[in-house]
A and B are shown apart, each in its own frame.
Chain A
Amino acid sequence: MSESAIISTPPLPKSATDHLTDFSDRLPPMLVKELRQGLRARTFVAVFLGLQLFLALVMLFATTASGVNGAGGVVSRIIFLFFMLAVLVVQPLRGINALYGEIKSSTIDLMVLTRLSARRIVFGKWAAIVGQTLLLFVSIAPYLILRYFFGGMNLFAEMLALSSVLILSICLTGLSVGVSANRAILIRGLLPLAVAVFFLFSTFGLCTNSSFEYLLREFTMQDEEFVAVFFSLLIGSLYIAWTAFGLGVSAIAPAAENHSSLNRVITLIVMALIGLILYLVDADWEAVPFAIGAAALPGIILAFGEKNFLMPRITEPFVRRGFIGRMLGLLFYPCWSAGVFYATLLIGIIYGLGALGYYHENTLGNYYDPDVSVVLTSLIGCLIFPAAVLVFFQKKITNHLGMYIGILAGSFALMAAMFAIAESTSSQVSLWTFCWLPPVNLCMQGGRFD
């Protein structure tokens, strides 16, 4: 073949599938899909570039003012402010429609027909946003090094503080992705939005407050009390994120899959763990039922919000184990009736601990505030009230959890309104009118209107 012939041969047409090697086969398919979409999404590109641009400008100004006393501290505040806004407000909000979007466009059906399990679908959605958050985290590292250049910086403490923010962001993303499967806008939209608004104000408050440097110093982990609070908050965040995550999985999983039982077991384990920690630190007995109750709260809400049907495939593994299996089924079947039994068990444990505390303190001759049991009863009443209302509309409701949380939020809103009326009129009539409503009753326990 002549040389000219070789040169004139047109190159082989490039196949459309050639570039499909951009992500490894080892990565979960959902993650690959979400990253391909997410990295092209305007929100992420805008946040990423905006953050870079702004931090670069800040550094430029800081360099010119490097001789000024406290310039380093100001830079730290700015880095924290924008990083926290990006990862605690913007990134979690990106998960707000993650699963509902798939449900609404019927693409969730197409995914369910593949080998992707519901858990892998939710995980992929979550992991993609978390991956982008990590990218933001890595991208601010050079600015931290520059910040070190200005002096007066505890690198370990600031890195740990930023890592804590990152972990919190990961949990918040889990929360928003998990609840995004719910049809009720109250849960899917308002809950993550309320959390975002909370962190928006907290971020501004924290980064402009004089105690910012003090808080940063705490991250050197010298104070034991701070360490305990830090790890408690960490475990609490992870637990709430996991619960919300499980909620998302249950919502999109086929009716023949059971995801609730595992979550209920985890709630019991978390309650036991907290009980153990409280025992080890010799906690005040009056605080025990409230701490355990806080751990049980997500479990009780989810149990009361279960749907009211079951498929034989779910009951089979329980029934196969004979009498014990059937008894366990009464507590762990993923349906409303078993949810009521399970919630009753948790409430029983909380009351039991309250009674145990009272007995224990009395035996030792210590004072045990009798109001504890009254407040505890009102709090538990707040949780039972929406479930009791739901019984009357059982057949007409399709979104039990949405309805349950709606009634719960509504009863607290009513309480707030009645409280406001009582405050402005200096009259207790409004509160006494609704004293049968547990949240109003709880409000009246404050002693203000006795």
Chain B
Amino acid sequence: MSTPAISVHNLYRYFGTLKAVNGVTFEIPKGSVCGFVGANGAGKTTTMRILASLDYPTLGTAEICGYNVVSHPEEVRRLIGWMPDHFGNYEHMTVVEYLDFYARALGYKGKERRQRVQEVMDFTDLGPLAERFSNKLSKGNTQRLGLGRALLQDPEVLVMDEPAAGLDPKARVELKSLIRVLANEGKTIFISSHILSELGEMCDSLLFINGGRIVHHGDAQSMMQETDVTGGLLYDVQILGDAESLSAWCLLHPKVEFLESRKQGGRIRIESNAIDDSAEILHRMIKDGLRVVEFHREQRNLEDAFIDMLGKIDRGEIAGKTPPQMPTTPAFNPPTL
């Protein structure tokens, strides 16, 4: 069996009393795309920073292609491309000079350096912006510049922390297509995002972290099945007139649950999986005076799974794998002092 691209074992990171990462264990095989999902403050960025050798674990091990991030940071840094959620750009420095600086810093020289910068600019389509100052770029172009910088050393593993955050839909689609190309080239991509539908489309597996602990690791389908506690069928219902009347109607019918309001109606769940029951519900709506203009079935999506997962955690139905008790002795105290 080949060495996994990313291997994390019983990883802990405490900041004082805050348990940012609390006994995380997972592996990501080479050449796969893994989405890292979790609420704000769940421990995503801390885990990713440790993987990028920018932070150190309080306890546990993290390896990139078999190299420990603490004991072999130089090797790890040669293998990894890191794209943080936020990074500042330099004043008085053009896009091409920005990439050139990092190419120099990575050890590229002469023609090879210029060629590498050109390749990255071509890939990220930054050519037309080459002479623009890097701190004057739009958010989307800044992210492309960040991706370009991360790709300069042709990394085997790409760790991307919220790369789509703050991007407009067009820039998001462009970024997604770039990530797809990289995935097709066989790079291992570890990506965190709040846009779960996009992660579902891109990723081979999803890693769900909550309160510093992994609560799910598997593909999107298994996550949706695992979290589907109530079953039933989902429908988008559009009506004419008062949209509130739909939620009021649902309250009177115990087999129908009103999930969320939408512009002209809402999203409902019908408890039964039988299609006949759905037809009966529609019939009753019309009979009760709701002026239904649209009634169509919807698939359960990752956002639903995410919400259900949080609900399960709140109810204590999912606790994540119980991590081993962290030793009370701090990991980095020297043995002789």
Contact = CB atoms under 8 A, between A and B. Distances in A.
B113 interface: yes
A105 B87 contact: yes
B93 A37 contact: yes
A10 interface: no
Nearest to A29: B104
Interface stretch (A226-234, A330-338, A413-421): A330-338
A20 interface: yes
Contact of A113 (B56, B82, B101, B130): B82
A337 B82 CA distance: 35
A310 B333 contact: yes
B254 interface: no
B88 A105 contact: yes
Contacts of B104: 25, 29, 32
A393 to B, nearest CB: 13
Interface in A1-31: 15-18, 20-21, 25, 29-30
Interface stretch (B1-9, B70-78, B319-327): B70-78
A95 to B, nearest CB: 15
Given A17-B96, A20-B96, A107-B87, A115 B107 contact: yes
A106 B106 contact: no
B135 to A, nearest CB: 10
A107 B88 contact: yes
Max chain B C-beta neighbours (<10 A), residue from A29, A255, A335: A29
B101 A29 contact: yes
Contacts of A255: 56
Contacts of B105: 29-30, 111, 114-116
Max chain B C-beta neighbours (<10 A), residue from A112, A314, A333, A395: A112
B73 A333 contact: no
For the residues of B in contact with A, the DSSP-based class is loop
Contact of A106 (B73, B88, B96, B331): B88
B187 interface: no
Contact of B332 (A41, A312, A337, A395): A312
Interface in A107-127: 107, 109-116
Given A25-B104, A33-B101, A256-B73, A16 B90 contact: no
A120 to B, nearest CB: 9
A360 interface: no
B86 A310 contact: no
Interface string A311-327: 11111001100000010
Interface residues of A, number: 47
A256 B70 contact: yes
Contacts of B54: 109, 112-113, 254
B44 interface: no
A25 B93 contact: no
B227 to A, nearest CB: 34
B84 interface: yes
Given A16-B121, A32-B101, A33-B93, A311 B84 contact: no
Contacts of B330: 309
A41 B93 CA distance: 10
A20 B70 CA distance: 35
Contacts of A254: 53-54, 73
Interface in A321-354: 326, 329-330, 333, 335, 337-338
Interface in A181-237: none
B11 to A, nearest CB: 16
A213 B87 CA distance: 53
Given A16-B121, A111-B105, A309-B330, A36 B88 contact: no
A318 B337 CA distance: 12
Contacts of A30: 105
A326 B336 CA distance: 7
B334 interface: yes
Contacts of B336: 315, 318-319, 326, 329-330
B88 A315 contact: no
B69 to A, nearest CB: 10
Contact of B337 (A20, A115, A335): A335
B257 interface: no
A314 B337 CA distance: 13
Contacts of A105: 87-89
Nearest to B85: A106
A40 interface: yes
Interface string A134-150: 00000000000000000
Given A106-B84, A338-B337, 10 more contacts: A16-B118, A17-B117, A29-B101, A33-B90, A36-B93, A106-B88, A109-B54, A254-B54, A310-B332, A335-B337
19 contacts: A16-B127, A17-B121, A17-B130, A20-B96, A25-B104, A32-B101, A36-B97, A37-B93, A41-B92, A106-B88, A109-B54, A110-B82, A113-B52, A114-B77, A114-B105, A254-B53, A309-B332, A312-B70, A335-B337
Interface of B: 16, 52-54, 56, 70-71, 73, 77, 80, 82, 84, 86-93, 96-97, 100-102, 104-107, 109-110, 113-115, 117-118, 121, 127, 130-131, 149, 330-337
Can you list the 10 inter-chain pairs with the closest CB atoms, starting with the nearest?
A105-B88, A16-B130, A114-B105, A29-B104, A40-B92, A315-B334, A17-B114, A33-B101, A29-B105, A25-B109
